[in-house]
């Protein structure tokens, strides 16, 4: 991969191949990033301890070697300044790459050296652009400048497998008939890309890499959204194990410029893998695969370029309801803060699953014990809501309507509260212990949250298009309907 753009901005910020480097993934509170207030800390607990932000962290099994591998070989005398320089460099790198992407992808025909795995250039460009404005913003799994640079220059962070996963994911948001394997059957949209993905996976599965793990996660989400739960769960499980193995390997410290990119990419991928795993657990009714491994996910995101980038819905002129999208003024994506807030919310959801929806043999049955846990988790949800950045505090009446990925965040919050209360309303041995006023209070709270979910769903239907909805929006609507 060419690193000239990154090398240039690093040099301008006083960083180069010989600059003392730090492990910004784990450090004390005295070196806390200026973004700490925007991107909350990660939760803690466990047996193997590391003091990070004055909290005890757990590192389980293979993940401990991941932290050993990432420990710095040089110690900076000014860790915070070092991180600030790296952060600025990555943001500048993103800006330069975005300009290059715009120039290169704007006009057809594209450079024939760009390998699109044989797909028509106009269709490939359509799907890639659609990915960046939909699936990418939902999970922030991928690091756009590195992927784009690899696509344009033949680098290591994109592959034919990942491209087809992107095509498959984006096709679910597109109304183009050309994306169907059967023109008269809307259910076949994107399936040609999934079949190609399966062919390529046979040769990639034994070689864990960032593009392969990312492709697996994207296909897992897309399959679940199509109703193919079993296939989605299998791919997600494979991706999670691949990410765990991948993160146990050290960065290439002989290539500091590349290690800076890979650290950012690994952090996004690992955080995204956890988020997808918990989301599918909610959607499919299973226990998350990653057990408490959120404790080792890096704090925050260094490259915050996408936080204040404008977002506009993709407009398909032939799609029903497209005329309403033409009048949507650009709105800040708030991609980083939305993604980090969703990650922290899903950590609480994971605890709810393990406490109330795990294996029956491991669940505490005493009403008092479960009621205390419920109250504690409710407090955590309320703390989460209060800690949201001011720009993510909005309701159904906010104008203009927020982008779908931001609406999904708030809908998931309402769904999490319903999900937490349901066992006390549906399980006889718990419901029987409720006082009448407690029962009425729980029922009223669930109805109120369900009403808010329905209101946001109507906004998405009227102002966007329902197939733009996040996977967790579907889960939220389901919970609202069964209240």
The domain spans of the chain are 4-307, 331-482
- Please tell me the pTM assigned to this model: 0.83
Question: Dihedral of the CA atoms 293, 221, 171, 450 (nearest 10)?
Answer: -110
pLDDT at 400: 84
pLDDT of residue 35: 39
Which secondary-structure segment (H or E) carries 7? Answer: helix 4-12
Helices 256-284, 210-225: inter-axial angle, 10-degree rounding: 20
In what helix (H) or strand (E) does residue 51 lie, and over which residues does it extend? strand 51-52
Q: What is the model's pLDDT at position 206?
A: 86
Cα 199 to Cα 456: distance, rounded to the nearest angstrom: 39
| Element housing 306 (H / E) | none
**Could you tell me which of 156, 141, 146, 153 has the C-alpha nearest to residue 6?**
146
3-class secondary structure, 116: coil
Q: What is the pLDDT of residue 28?
A: 35
Residue 17 DSSP SS3: coil
Pair 215, 159: CB distance under 8 Å? yes
Q: What's residue 482's pLDDT?
A: 92
Give 3-state DSSP helix, strand, coil % of the chain, rounded to 5.
65, 0, 35
Q: What's residue 33's pLDDT?
A: 38
pLDDT at residue 311, rounded to an integer: 94
3-state SS assignment for residue 346 = helix
Q: 144 φ, ψ to 5°?
A: -55, -50
- H helix or E strand, kind and range, residue 375: helix 367-387
CB 299 within 8 A of CB 37: no
| Angle, in degrees to the nearest 10, between helices 436-463 and 471-482 | 140
Residue labelled with tokens 């950045």? 389
**Average confidence (pLDDT) per 10 residues, the chain, 483 residues:** 60 57 38 38 34 35 37 42 84 95 94 96 96 93 96 95 98 92 94 98 91 97 91 93 75 61 89 93 89 64 95 70 64 96 96 84 71 96 98 90 94 98 89 88 97 93 74 94 92
Phi first, then psi, for residue 189 (nearest 5°) are -60, 130
Pairing label, strands 55-56, 51-52: antiparallel
């Amino acid at each position: 991969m060419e690193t000239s753009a990154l090398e240039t901005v690093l040099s301008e910020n006083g960083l180069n191949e010989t600059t003392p480097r730090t492990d910004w993934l784990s450090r004390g509170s005295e070196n806390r990033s200026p973004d700490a207030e925007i991107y909350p800390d990660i939760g803690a607990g466990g047996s193997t301890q590391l003091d990070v932000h004055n909290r005890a962290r757990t590192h389980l099994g293979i993940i401990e070697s991941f932290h050993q591998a990432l420990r710095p070989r040089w110690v900076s005398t000014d860790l915070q300044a070092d991180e600030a320089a790296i952060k600025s460099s990555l943001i500048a790198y993103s800006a330069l790459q975005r300009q290059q992407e715009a120039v290169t992808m704007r006009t057809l025909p594209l450079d024939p050296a760009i390998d699109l795995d044989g797909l028509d250039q106009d269709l490939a460009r359509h799907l890639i652009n659609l990915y960046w404005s939909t699936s990418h913003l939902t999970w922030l799994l991928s690091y756009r400048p590195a992927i784009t640079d690899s696509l344009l220059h033949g680098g290591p962070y994109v592959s034919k497998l990942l491209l087809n996963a992107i095509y498959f994911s984006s096709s679910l948001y597109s109304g183009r008939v050309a994306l169907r394997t059967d023109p008269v059957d809307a259910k076949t949209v994107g399936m040609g890309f999934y079949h190609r993905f399966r062919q390529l996976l046979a040769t990639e599965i034994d070689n864990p890499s960032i593009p392969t793990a990312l492709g697996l996660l994207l296909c897992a989400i897309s399959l679940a959204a199509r109703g193919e739960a079993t296939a989605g769960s299998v791919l997600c499980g494979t991706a999670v194990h691949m990410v765990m193995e991948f993160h146990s390997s050290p960065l290439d410290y002989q290539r500091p410029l590349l290690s800076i990119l890979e650290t950012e990419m690994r952090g996004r991928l690992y955080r995204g893998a956890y988020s997808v795993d918990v989301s599918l657990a909610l959607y499919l009714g299973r226990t998350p695969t990653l057990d408490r491994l959120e404790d080792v996910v890096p704090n925050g995101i260094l490259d915050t370029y996408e936080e204040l980038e404008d977002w506009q819905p993709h407009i398909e002129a032939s799609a029903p309801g497209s005329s309403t999208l033409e009048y949507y003024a650009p709105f800040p994506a708030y991609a980083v803060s939305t993604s980090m807030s969703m990650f922290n919310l899903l950590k609480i959801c994971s605890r709810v699953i393990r406490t109330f929806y795990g294996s029956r043999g491991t669940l505490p049955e005493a009403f008092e014990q479960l009621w205390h846990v419920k109250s504690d988790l409710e407090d955590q949800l309320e703390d989460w809501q209060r800690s949201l950045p001011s720009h993510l505090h909005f309701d159904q009446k906010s104008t203009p309507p927020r982008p779908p990925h931001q609406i999904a965040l708030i809908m998931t919050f309402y769904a999490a509260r319903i999900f937490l209360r349901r066992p006390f309303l549906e399980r006889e041995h718990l419901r029987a212990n409720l006082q009448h006023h407690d029962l009425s209070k729980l029922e009223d709270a669930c109805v109120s949250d369900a009403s808010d979910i329905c209101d946001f769903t109507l906004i998405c239907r009227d102002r966007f298009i329902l197939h733009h909805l996040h996977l967790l929006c579907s889960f939220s609507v389901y919970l609202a309907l069964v209240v």
